Amino acid sequence: MVSYLIRRFAFLVVTLVLASIVLFVLLRLLPGDPANALLSVGATKEQIASARADVGADLPVIEQFVRWFSQLARFDLGTSYISGLPVGPEIAQRLVVTVPLTLLAFVLAVIIAVPVGFVAAYKSHRWYGVALSAVSQLGIAVPVFWIGVLLVTFFALRLQLLPAGGFPQDDWQDPAAALRSLALPVITVAIVMAASVTRYVRSAVLDVLGSDYLRSSRALGASFAEAMWRHGLRNASVPVISILGIELATTFLGAVVVESVFALPGLGSMLLTSIAQHDYPDIQGVLFVSTFAVLIVGFLADTAQRLVDPRLRASVSGNRGGGSGGGGRRRGVGPASTAVPVAALPGTTDPGVVRS
């Protein structure tokens, strides 16, 4: 386990470095000189040159990267071109909205999805089991911003129960007001996420229900609840946990989109504004923090999975991909959207082409 942790952590560090390189290259490949963002249209050549020197755009690319990277290593994300303020604190300020939104939505989604998925599997031959899984199918095809618009229309504009958007100026000074502002966004994201988590839970529970060990346990005299408690839940939780990391990342992205439905001053709106203004340090900062978060969540999910599943804990040898497909891993775990044991691999953080 310790050697796995070390290897997995090393992989995390490598991916973070790679990610920062990819991000840096991507931003440099895009058209548009960063200096343009600083100046108005009629700027003279000298002004352009001095602006470029100010932001370091006149240096060789390698040197720019070294500068950026050494700043990053000191947790310094640079200074905004537009506002002149440091990027790091600005992002921290935005996270005050985005992080609670993401976490609350995620927790709510799991709270909904686990029992619903269980019932959908356990009663898969009854009409309500079928109905639950049909609704979850529907849920994954619904764009998250549309749910947001519908909820705003109904609960905020029609019934006037909750605010339609915005966030208190003083952030969390008044927790009740902050929570009221977040209520609809949280529900919006949670509905969509719950649908997709439900499908994983259902599929995992179905696998367990059809397993030999559950039948053996029943045959040895255990009641269904006992057998499920002792053997079923833990086995069912393995694929679900592995997928939760990915789902958390997707929740975060959903939050970014939903912020714009509800005019929340979070990371998503910061990204949109900075993109509109070609504010490269801001863009870079937001993307880096987001990617960083996704990668770390992936690391935590993989580690949690190891803790739950002794079979994975035992198989220390790096079976990265392919081959036998990993020790105790069954074929076909996970519902349609992965279709393949993508989740069976360590290092699986798969927001994929993001659904939202």
Partner 1 sequence: MRRRSITLAIGAVLVGIILATAVVSFFWLPYPPSDIGGGRLAPPSAAHLAGTDKLGRDLLTQLMIGARIALQVGAGSVAIGGVLGIALGLATAFAQRWLDDGLSAVLDVLIAFPTLLVAMLVVAASGASLGSAILAIGLAMSAVVARLTRILAKRVLSLDYITAARVSGTRWPGLILQHVLPNIWPTVVVNLALQFGLAVLAEASLSYLGLGSPPPNASWGSILQEAQGTVLVAPIGAVAPGVLLVVLVIGVNLVADGLRDVGDPTRRGRA
List interacting residues with partner 1 (CB under 8 A). 11, 14-15, 18-19, 22, 26-27, 30-32, 124, 137-138, 140-146, 149-150, 152-153, 157-158, 206, 249, 252-253, 256-257, 260-261, 271-272, 275-276, 278, 283, 286-287, 290-291, 294-295, 298, 320-323, 325, 332, 336-337, 339-342, 345, 347, 349-356
Q: What's the rounded Cα separation, in Å, for the pair 183 and 118?
A: 26
Question: Considering beta carbons, is residue 10 or 111 the nearer one to partner 1?
Answer: 10
Q: What's the rounded Cα separation, in Å, for the pair 263 and 273?
A: 12
* Min dist. Cβ of residue 308 to partner 1 (A): 22
Question: Considering beta carbons, is residue 178 or 302 the nearer one to partner 1?
Answer: 302
Q: What's the rounded Cα separation, in Å, for the pair 347 and 318?
A: 11
The amino acid sitting at 28 is: R
Q: Which two tokens stand for residue 277?
A: 């203004």
299 neighbors 9 (Cβ within 8 angstroms): yes
The burial class, CB within 10 Å (0-12 / 13-18 / 19+), for 88 is middle
Question: Considering beta carbons, is residue 127 or 221 the nearer one to partner 1?
Answer: 127
Q: What is the 3-state secondary structure (H, E, C) of 75-124?
A: CCCCECCCCCCEHHHHHHHHHHHHHHHHHHHHHHHHHHHHHHHHHHHHCC
* Min dist. Cβ of residue 260 to partner 1 (A): 6
Q: Which two tokens stand for residue 311?
A: 């079979």
* Min dist. Cβ of residue 93 to partner 1 (A): 19
Question: Considering beta carbons, is residue 178 or 298 the nearer one to partner 1?
Answer: 298
Question: Considering beta carbons, is residue 166 or 352 the nearer one to partner 1?
Answer: 352
Question: Considering beta carbons, is residue 50 or 337 the nearer one to partner 1?
Answer: 337
Question: Considering beta carbons, is residue 82 or 177 the nearer one to partner 1?
Answer: 82
Q: Which long-range contacts (C-beta less than 8 Å, at least 24 apart) are formed by 210-219?
A: 211/235
* Min dist. Cβ of residue 152 to partner 1 (A): 8
* Min dist. Cβ of residue 45 to partner 1 (A): 24
Q: Which two tokens stand for residue 285?
A: 């900062």
330: part of which helix (H) or strand (E)? none
* Min dist. Cβ of residue 16 to partner 1 (A): 9
* Min dist. Cβ of residue 189 to partner 1 (A): 13
* Min dist. Cβ of residue 222 to partner 1 (A): 24
Q: Which residues, 6+ apart, have CB-to-CB distance to 119 below 8 Å? A: 128, 129, 132
How many secondary structure helices (H) and strands (E) does the chain include? 13, 0
161: part of which helix (H) or strand (E)? none
Q: What's the rounded Cα separation, in Å, for the pair 298 and 289?
A: 14
Question: Considering beta carbons, is residue 26 or 61 the nearer one to partner 1?
Answer: 26
Sign of CA dihedral 202, 204, 205, 211: positive
* Min dist. Cβ of residue 102 to partner 1 (A): 12
Phi, psi at 79, each rounded to 5° = -125, 140
- Grouping H, G, I as helix, E, B as strand and the rest as coil, residue 41 is coil
Question: Considering beta carbons, is residue 11 or 200 the nearer one to partner 1?
Answer: 11
